Amino acid sequence: MKTLTLFLTTTPYAYENTHTALQLARAALQKGLQVNLFASADGVYNFTRDHQAKGLPNAGQEFAALIEQGLHVELCGTCLNFRGIRATDYLPGSEPSSMKRLFGMVKASDIFVTLGS
């Protein structure tokens, strides 16, 4: 099975990166790929509970649905700590991780896409 890994570093509503990540993940899962997403920097905000801008799609809800469909999500542990985000603040199915784990994900991936800076 081919593996796609997405690296997301931007907030849910400041850029179109979140929308792009959601669409890529959804399409890849539908095609039967293993899909990983590693969120770093402000990208970790995409996976916090009850984080929504008015009048826009709810990124957290959309990612939660993809997690249920098989999306594997890891969040930069240092980034969570810097932002004061606790385990009770982020979505079930997403887990704290490290740059060492990111390296392993990149190495094991057939396709790696960076969304953000």
CATH number of the domain enclosing 64: 3.40.1260.10
Domain of residue 77, residue span: 3-115
- Residues 6/43, Cβ–Cβ less than 8 Å: no
pLDDT of residue 72: 98
Instruction: Please compute the mean of the pLDDT values over residues 7-19 and round it to a whole number.
Output: 92
Domain count within the chain? 1
Give the Cα separation of 72 and 94 in Å (integer).
7
pLDDT, tens digit, for every residue of 88-104?
999 999 999 999 999 99
Kindly indicate the confidence band of residue 113, based on its pLDDT and cuts at 50, 70 and 90.
Answer: very high
**Could you give the 3-state DSSP secondary structure of residue 59?**
helix
Render the burial of 88-112: b for 16+ CB within 10 Å, e for the rest.
ebbbeebebbeeebbeebeeebeeb
pLDDT, tens digit, for every residue of 21-80?
999 999 999 999 999 999 999 999 999 987 777 777 789 999 999 999 999 999 999 999
